[in-house]
Amino acid sequence: MRYFVTGTAGFIGFHLARRLLQDGHEVAGFDGMTAYYNLRLKEARHAALAQFPAFRPTLAMLEDRAALEKAMIDFQPDVIVHLAAQAGVRYSLENPKAYLDSNLIGSWNILELAKTLKVGHLMLASTSSVYGANPEVPFRETDRADEPLTFYAATKKATELMAHSYSHLYRVPTTAFRFFTVYGPWGRPDMALFKFVKAMIEDREIEVYGEGKMSRDFTFIDDLVDSIIDLSRIVPSEENRVEGSVRDTLSHQAPFRVVNIGGGQPVGLLDFIEVIESVMGKPAKRKMLPMQQGDVPRTYASPDLLVALTGKKPETGVDTGVRRFVEWYLEHREELGL
């Protein structure tokens, strides 16, 4: 099949594109190569994808409607997987306009082109951040998600709502998936695991926010990619509405569905740090700090709908996932200037 993937120089987009190419699909990648973090890392990801003849990259911003339109019309995709976004909860406090431009204007451009091309399946990345500080656990897709704590979360929920309207008005089959703390090799330098490992190697303190009392539902990247590919084959329609004890989010007005991608096994931050210490073979120097503005105390996915649709959920434990990351980091640290 022909997959148009935005954000292919990013962490998740790179892994998804590589898996699709390995499986024999054609992939058109679209990425703005923003300087939000280490460009050498982004360039190395795209260089790895360029080894596949079936990969077609375009370097441009999502807000560049003409470039996006040309790339998509030339490629004529069967599936669009929209992963590109301005990421990062904390950075949204410093530069909210980047989130407005990329996550709202850029996503609207994607919706317009999905409508024009009558694409077979539009898939959109959302986030567990839309649940805010939801007191009910685990987080279910049917829970209210109307109290975002950051502008980043607000733009992601807005993208879901915009996509539902387009799905209803123009019958664009759409799946929005909510990620839960994705980690693994080739990860983002602004994420906790990356920062902790780097600080420990350099014999510096790690900054532990919320006094270490937070917990996260960590999702290993390979499991996430498996789930996205499985869901890409399940185009929302009444024919695959889930019945029974699991509440489906398939809209009654549109071929639109929201699905959590998480294993439903939250890990305490201090326990996570202990796993890193075990893998690294050394203790971390911990600097305990209060909760940062915009942070949530916990994330905890209900994977019930994902399991009902695909038959599986993320299962990789943090001990395995952290070891895989550390092995990658040690191998590529000097080469990529990490």
Give the catalytic positions in this structure.
Answer: 152
**Chain centroid offset of residue 180 CA:** 8
User: Contact, 153 vs 89, CB < 8 A?
Assistant: yes
The helix/strand/coil state of 141 is coil
- Which sign, positive or negative, has the C-alpha torsion 225, 129, 142, 174? negative
2-6 and 26-31 strand pairing:
parallel
Beta strands in 238-330 (DSSP E): 256-261, 267-268, 285-288
The angle at the Cα of 76, spanning 49 to 164, to the nearest 5 degrees, equals 100
The helix/strand/coil state of 116 is helix
The helix/strand/coil state of 54 is coil
Rounded Cα gap, residues 329 and 324, in angstroms: 9
The helix/strand/coil state of 178 is strand
- The CA–CA distances, whole Å, from 331 to 11, 37, 56, 186, 199 equal 17, 19, 27, 11, 16
Residue type, 213: K
* CA-based R_g, the chain, Å: 19
Burial environment of residue 252 by CB neighbours within 10 A (0 to 12, 13 to 18, 19 or more): exposed
